[in-house]
Amino acid sequence: MAYSFPEEVLEHVFSFLSSDKDRNAVSLVCKSWYEIERWCRRKIFIGNCYAVNPRIMIRRFPEVRSIELKGKPHFADFNLVPEGWGAYVYPWILAMSKSYPLLEEIKLKRMVITDESLELIAKSFKNFKVLVLSSCDGFTTDGLAAIAANCRNLRELDLGESEVEDLSGHWLSHFPDSCTSLVSLNIACLVSEVSFLALERLVARSPNLRTLRINRAVPLEKLPYLLRRTSQLVEFGTGAYSADVRSDYFSNLTEAFSGCKQLKCLSGFWDVVPAYLPAIYPVCSRLTSLNLSYATCQNPELGKLISQCHNLQRLWVLDYIEDFGLEELAANCKDLQELRVFPSDPFAAEPNVTLTEQGLVAVSDGCPKLQSVLYFCRQMTNAALFTIARNRPNMIRFRLCIIEPRTPDYLTLGPLDAGFGAIVENCKELRRLSLSGLLTDRVFEYIGTHAKKLEMLSIAFAGDSDLGLHHVLSGCESLRKLEIRDCPFGDKALLSNAAKLETMRSLWMSSCSISFEACKMLAQKMPRLNVEVIDERGPPDTRPESCPVEKLYIYRSVAGRRFDTPGYVWVKKQL
């Protein structure tokens, strides 16, 4: 191997590779390619912050500019992961503050970030540009003030759906007058009122602003002041969409929206007063994305609004849309790719709206590009699922939540195995699936047999025995994330498929039938897996070893066990 391209040439070629998969492949070709590639990798994605550690990352990739980290398991979103479990970002920030002075971007999901971390970011990275905190917690508005005040070239500040301790809205005023670089600002999750004047001024001096999502506290009548100053917006999130019905408010708002010729995406809409919805009509035909999932308005106003959005690709909405509204959607929005229908009253015993399987069938029938679905409803049939599967073989994400656990097909009163079986059999590109309703081991047999591209599977209140889990672990070749709650799956299936777990990112099991003994055996057998037993009832060895553990989280790691576990997490001690 005497000759190859000069390093600079190879580096230049590699600079066109953005996908991690490609870069990883390149790194395996030979030692020199590995070396060249690692010096020029600028972006890192770490799907589980405990799978690796900062030291290993920095050692291999010395010149990183952008990092994305994910922390807690997905079920943390539904309060299944107790407080204090982990996913602290501080050690990462500390290490990077020393080794990556040129870091520009930090994107976090489900991690705990403190004000101390935010202050360290603000101080350490002179060229810091992008901070995205998706479903994070642990910080206050004081930390945000540090970012605002110190990051001279800040382009993006996105707080996602984070839980922020809102001390005051004053932090926004910490952006200096010299800060004119903002492209994207999302503060929708904040409760406190920010100084409107400060917000208006910030917006006015940010000529590159394309995304602005304000919080609920900003009243509707103030929106025109913002929109007029930033008519180049592509994405806008309103605050509370309510005010006394006044014609001057209405005409100002309509005019302001009309002026936003680039607007493609709308969100916000808390506390909707239906009379103000027509103010959006001028932009409807341009919209590709509409998030009405906080909008407590119903038909006919809701349907009328959506029917005008002929170019809509993504719709998030409450179940107030009802079957009727979904039929209108199917008739009017032929470009629809993603639909999410959230429950307005998830805890009501009786349905409060007429939203059934019919609505979803209608959309699957009328929208040829529909590929991503999240649907909360109260009834389902196998027949409906067959129809959906037949209509939409291009489905990629299918998440169905029938609100009452173990609800059968309401026509046959039998399980929904066959219906979901049809989904996995017809939708050959399916990457994500969430199951619900009455399901036996049979559905898992179908999934194991057909769902070969499935990467993420969520299971709740389903199955009869270990066989169910075994079908999934042995059959789903592409499986990366598996999360299970309240299923009668036990030790046998887990232990006999132990090797599979190393090919996956993680496995979550809660309220199942896995014994502490099995956990110990698994940890013993598989040194490259971290097996975490999460049990708030006290030390597992105070109960019989056959007693099922409350919760179990297993993930592969090259970093070994972690040392930041709280008292209720049990991990293997290395001897």
Considering the rule CB under 8 A, would residue 64 count as an interface residue with another protein? no
Q: In the complex, what is the shortest distance from the CB of residue 504 to another protein, in angstroms, rounded to a whole number? A: 21
Considering the rule CB under 8 A, would residue 273 count as an interface residue with another protein? yes
Considering the rule CB under 8 A, would residue 569 count as an interface residue with another protein? yes
Considering the rule CB under 8 A, would residue 75 count as an interface residue with another protein? yes
Which of the residues 520 through 549 are near another protein (CB under 8 A)?
A: 520, 523-524, 533, 535-537, 539-541
Q: In the complex, what is the shortest distance from the CB of residue 77 to another protein, in angstroms, rounded to a whole number? A: 5
Q: Residue from 60, 406, 480, 500 that binds another protein (CB under 8 A)?
A: 406
Q: Residue from 10, 49, 64, 80 that binds another protein (CB under 8 A)?
A: 80
Which of the residues 364 through 393 are near another protein (CB under 8 A)?
A: 376
Instruction: Output the six-digit token pair for 343.
Output: 């429950």
Burial class (CB in 10 A: 0-12, 13-18, 19+), 538: exposed
Instruction: Output the six-digit token pair for 541.
Output: 């060895």
Q: How far is CA 91 from CA 3, 53, 67, 529, in A?
A: 42, 9, 14, 22
Considering the rule CB under 8 A, would residue 564 count as an interface residue with another protein? yes
The rounded distance, in Å, linking the Cα atoms of 87 and 112 is 6
Q: Residue from 114, 134, 354, 496 that binds another protein (CB under 8 A)?
A: 354
Specify the stretch interacting with another protein by CB under 8 A; choose among 296-304, 325-333, 362-370, 382-390. Answer: 296-304
Inter-residue contact 327 to 356 (CB < 8 Å): no
Q: How far is CA 191 from CA 161, 182, 187, 415, in A?
A: 12, 22, 9, 43
Decide whether 73 or 448 has the Cβ nearer to another protein: 73
Residues forming beta bridges with residue 266, ordered by sequence position: 236, 290
Which of the residues 223 through 262 are near another protein (CB under 8 A)?
A: 245
Q: In the complex, what is the shortest distance from the CB of residue 546 to another protein, in angstroms, rounded to a whole number? A: 15
Specify the stretch interacting with another protein by CB under 8 A; choose among 110-118, 148-156, 168-176, 272-280. Answer: 272-280
Residues forming beta bridges with residue 483, ordered by sequence position: 458, 508
Which of the residues 113 through 152 are near another protein (CB under 8 A)?
A: none
Inter-residue contact 239 to 270 (CB < 8 Å): yes
Q: In the complex, what is the shortest distance from the CB of residue 113 to another protein, in angstroms, rounded to a whole number? A: 17
Considering the rule CB under 8 A, would residue 342 count as an interface residue with another protein? yes
The rounded distance, in Å, linking the Cα atoms of 25 and 111 is 29
Considering the rule CB under 8 A, would residue 68 count as an interface residue with another protein? no
The rounded distance, in Å, linking the Cα atoms of 218 and 417 is 47
Considering the rule CB under 8 A, would residue 77 count as an interface residue with another protein? yes
Place of tokens 């887990």: 494
Specify the stretch interacting with another protein by CB under 8 A; choose among 175-183, 337-345, 380-388, 464-472. Answer: 337-345
Q: How far is CA 229 from CA 39, 85, 284, 505, in A?
A: 43, 44, 21, 45
Cis peptide before 224 (omega within 30 of 0): no
